[in-house]
Structure 1
Amino acid sequence: MSISLGLERVASVLHALKSPQKSFKVFHVAGTNGKGSVCAYLSSILYQSSLTTGRFTSPYLVHPRYSISINEKPVSKVLFDDVHGLVQSVSKRDAIDATSFELLTATALEIFHRKGVDIAVVEVGLGGRFDATNVDYKVGGVLGSVITRIGLDHQGYLGNTVEDITHQKTGIMRRDVPVTVHGDNDDNIRRVILQDAVVENCPLTIVSPSSLRREVDDHGLETVNLGTKSFGSISLSDTPLNGSYQLMNLACAITAIDLAHASLPTVTPESIREGIVNTKWPGRLQLLSASEFTGDDKQQHVLLDGAHNVQAATFLSDYVETLRKNTKDGTVTWVVALSGDRNCKEIMSLLLQRGDRFYPASFGPVDGMPWVRPINMEELKHAATDLLGSKDRVLFVDGATNEIIRDACKHDSPVVVCGSLYLVSEVLAGLPEKYL
């Protein structure tokens, strides 16, 4: 089975379940990069505002149930297995033949219904227009749509140009429902978003870097603030997520809530601040101690990041520069695995620098997605050798991912594990659950 976009199958499953998605309100988030972070901010703020909150994101880490959260905690295995089993039986009984992602989407929506959530924060899986999450929520059910940064990704399914891809992502727009747009998108992307918003009569708010006000106090401490209509000035500087780009993601989340404030009376400046401080988003610029892999007290960082495309690799490279500055020789040790449809040399050229070390890695079969396969490690080794200019800097460990990381930690440099969320998922699967 391969990726099969369309809304008919998931609609049939939901109809058989008596349309659970019509029992709660929704924030729907699409984009190429940043949409998961926006969902994490949104759900944390809503939960801190005394709202029963569901969140559905993809791809999942470790196990499908980790893609579904209630009040910032993954749903229990018992609940997940019960509902997922029901959804599978409905699909089989009615000969719907729903895909694994459609079954997971229906499972999330049914769980949200059973747990009586007030708000569901839903991340698009692929594209938007024909994605399984783009189902018929009840009239007035969608409080806001968010479109994050858009770039070239999944061209085989969404189109060969950013304009085509953007049009697929704007498919989540609902008539008269406000849309929040990440302002760092190129003009041609914004043009398509504007045109499609006009067709749907959607109020459009673009969050640009100029929307953020930077202030420096007498001690040289910089704060970044966002002005809102409903909550006054909100400081973004307390976000616990790494990466300067997170300020814009957070600004998009707060703006979406600001635009829907009439339907969210329990949200206050205080609950927004609490939501920001308590946001967690594993596998994205996640700093861990090397001791988790080596078992000793080695003072060294291991950075996990699911960067899997050119745009995300650029953001990762910017952040890694801060790690390079704190090392003796500015070198980094990389552990990389990429999916088979990626241009490995283009992505790796944004990351690797002469003098770095490189370990090729892989990942195992992805549950329910047999078409997802890693690039052969020999191909990664060849690309790294060309970029580093020496095969001596390309190392190899015949073992599991966490064994590769343990070996990488022998070197006196930061270790960066990246290239695929499926790789990151394998790493986290071997660590205590507190990191999820």
Structure 2
Amino acid sequence: MEKNQNDKSNKNDIIHMNDKSGNYDKNNINNFIDKNDEHDMSDILHKINNEEKKYEEIKSYSECLELLYKTHALKLGLDNPKKLNESFGHPCDKYKTIHIAGTNGKGSVCYKIYTCLKIKKFKVGLFSSPHIFSLRERIIVNDEPISEKELIHLVNEVLNKAKKLYINPSFFEIITLVAFLHFLNKKVDYAIIETGIGGRLDATNILTKPEVIVITSIGYDHLNILGDNLPIICNEKIGIFKKDANVVIGPSVAIYKNVFDKAKELNCTIHTVVPEPRGERYNEENSRIALRTLEILNISIDYFLKSIIPIKPPLRIQYLATEQIQHIKKKFSPDNLEHNVQYPLAVILDVGHNETAIDRLCTDINYFHKGQNIRICISITKPRNLSVFHPFIAQFGDTLKDIFYLPSLNERTYDFEEIVEMLNNEEEIKNEIKELILSSSKKVGKWLAHEKQGNINEEDALKLYKRGCIPLIIKNAFLECCKDNSILLVCGTFFVFDEVLNVFDIHSDMQDTIFMNEPSHV
């Protein structure tokens, strides 16, 4: 009887050794071992090992996505990434890396360096985020995205290792390790690594000896995580500095004293890309940052390389071609083509989504189209505030005819009801922005009422201004631009652009069936 009671007690203790995630808590195991003799321990550890072997590996790509998007998107801190990296033998230190951070421009600079190194016949990996159509876009080697099979295999490897280490990694921690392992498997010469958020506590900051570190710019973004003070945000970015490293900094970074203090502390060599005295577009600034990085890598900068350095990644002030605009006009108004030959002056797509990025975007549009009428379709993610809209008024003034909010199916973005609530409650929002968004929303109400063939009044139709109506809004905004030959700018978060591109019949052969609804920061 006494033995049975002890067995029952041991069984209960084993159950309580699990943490909330189902992983064994190492400390609880050690404490439990101290209380039992060696004979009992062999039986207990045998049970634990059997439990560990019961981990069911992911079999399909859809199952892989579902599991990843159920984990927390972001967990700032390096404990998990360091443990995983060490357990795999430090894969990211077995090839040359360029580590790139910055509030804006880092994606473009990554892409420019990646493209130039490819042209020089190197095998190059690119790790960037977020993605548009498919998670596989984030991990690329010489234009070849990681395959579904490779992704499933490496996610299983990382999760199996995490289980043995008794840790519960976040989405971004998992994907970062997957990228580092994939680049090792593919035997890349270089890997271009873009930080996720910030730098100091970002999962990518386990690189110990990057060839070059790049900080493109400092500005306001992710205020709820990085803070609302620019020197503090700068501290987060320069947290990726490493001892004796070469560091390239963009013009907006050079004004911060803590950059040079940190460099002195770690004996880093700073290479400053100075402002262009006559002014320049931001793509030109990004190109100069990329060229300086390539020079440090001792890459020969010939005429051809200089000619392709202006290349931009998709959705950075991306103009639809004339043929695309004509196709969309025919799609949206097939019956009116003979009587209405007007088209928008331009259709521009851009993933600018913070105030600094939008200000830069507006500056570049004004460079080419100063004084032209413009209509804007935009979507933003939580918890941003509507200050991101202020550059539109400041830069475009009376030429700004409409701001149409796009309520994405992705619930990380605001629905229109939430935008209206913010307009009513946030005192710092300029009246011009409020009036323009609300007047534009009345047009959306008319379009929704018309879609219901007059069976609903405009006030009730406005209640239908919800997730799922992006195709209707973009279609009618496009046709409004046809009437006065104005510009249509579609911008905002990455998370909306799969819907936007589908409206414009721009598709990808990689199309995930599960939204990138990564849960918020923990």
Larger Rg: 2
Contact 2:329 2:343 in 1 (8 A): no
Higher helix share: 2
Q: Deviations over 1:274-330 (max 9, x none)?
A: 6526x340122111243564554874332111111111111111123256548xxx3
Shift of 1:64: 1.5
- Superposed, 1:139-218 pairs within 5 Å as 141-185=209-253, 187=255, 189=256, 191-210=257-276
Give the 3 Å change call, closer, same or farther, for CA 378–256 of structure 1 in structure 2. Answer: same
Q: CA RMSD in A?
A: 2.8
Structure 2: how far apart are the matches of 1:280 and 1:389? 34
Counterpart secondary structure, 2:214: strand
| Partner in structure 2 of residue 308 of structure 1 | 353
| Partner in structure 1 of residue 113 of structure 2 | 42
Counterpart secondary structure, 1:290: helix
| Partner in structure 1 of residue 284 of structure 2 | 247
Give the 3 Å change call, closer, same or farther, for CA 201–186 of structure 1 in structure 2. Answer: closer
Shift of 1:270: 4.8
- The letter for the 2-side match of 1:418 is C
Contact 1:29 1:123 in 2 (8 A): yes
Contact 2:96 2:211 in 1 (8 A): yes
Shift of 1:19: 2.3
| Partner in structure 1 of residue 60 of structure 2 | none
Give aligned-pair identity as a percent.
26
Structure 2: how far apart are the matches of 1:201 and 1:248? 26
Q: Paired residue for 2:296, among 235, 251, 259?
A: 259
Structure 2: how far apart are the matches of 1:435 and 1:93? 33
- The letter for the 2-side match of 1:147 is I
Give the 3 Å change call, closer, same or farther, for CA 148–136 of structure 1 in structure 2. Answer: closer
Give the 3 Å change call, closer, same or farther, for CA 255–248 of structure 1 in structure 2. Answer: same
Counterpart secondary structure, 1:423: helix
Q: After alignment, is 81-90 or 43-52 more displaced?
A: 81-90
Structure 2: how far apart are the matches of 1:254 and 1:178? 14
Q: After alignment, is 267-276 or 29-38 more displaced?
A: 267-276
1:351 aligns with 2:392: yes
Contact 1:335 1:361 in 2 (8 A): yes
| Partner in structure 2 of residue 281 of structure 1 | 313
| Partner in structure 2 of residue 433 of structure 1 | 508
Contact 1:337 1:360 in 2 (8 A): yes
Contact 1:48 1:275 in 2 (8 A): no
- The letter for the 2-side match of 1:387 is I
Contact 2:74 2:171 in 1 (8 A): no
- The letter for the 2-side match of 1:393 is S
1:387 aligns with 2:437: no
Contact 2:254 2:272 in 1 (8 A): no
Structure 1: how far apart are the matches of 2:508 and 2:73? 31
Q: Calculate the TM-score normalised by the size of structure 1.
A: 0.80
Counterpart secondary structure, 1:248: helix
1:405 aligns with 2:474: yes
Contact 2:200 2:238 in 1 (8 A): yes
| Partner in structure 1 of residue 74 of structure 2 | 3
| Partner in structure 2 of residue 332 of structure 1 | 374
Shift of 1:102: 0.7
1:63 aligns with 2:124: no
Structure 1: how far apart are the matches of 2:110 and 2:98? 8
1:269 aligns with 2:297: no
Structure 2: how far apart are the matches of 1:403 and 1:81? 37
Contact 2:470 2:499 in 1 (8 A): yes
| Partner in structure 1 of residue 159 of structure 2 | 88
| Partner in structure 1 of residue 44 of structure 2 | none
Structure 1: how far apart are the matches of 2:273 and 2:73? 36
Q: Deviations over 1:139-160 (max 9, x none)?
A: xx41101111101222332233
Give the 3 Å change call, closer, same or farther, for CA 81–307 of structure 1 in structure 2. Answer: same
Q: Calculate the TM-score normalised by the size of structure 2.
A: 0.68
Give the 3 Å change call, closer, same or farther, for CA 186–269 of structure 1 in structure 2. Answer: closer
Give the 3 Å change call, closer, same or farther, for CA 134–292 of structure 1 in structure 2. Answer: farther
Contact 1:302 1:414 in 2 (8 A): yes
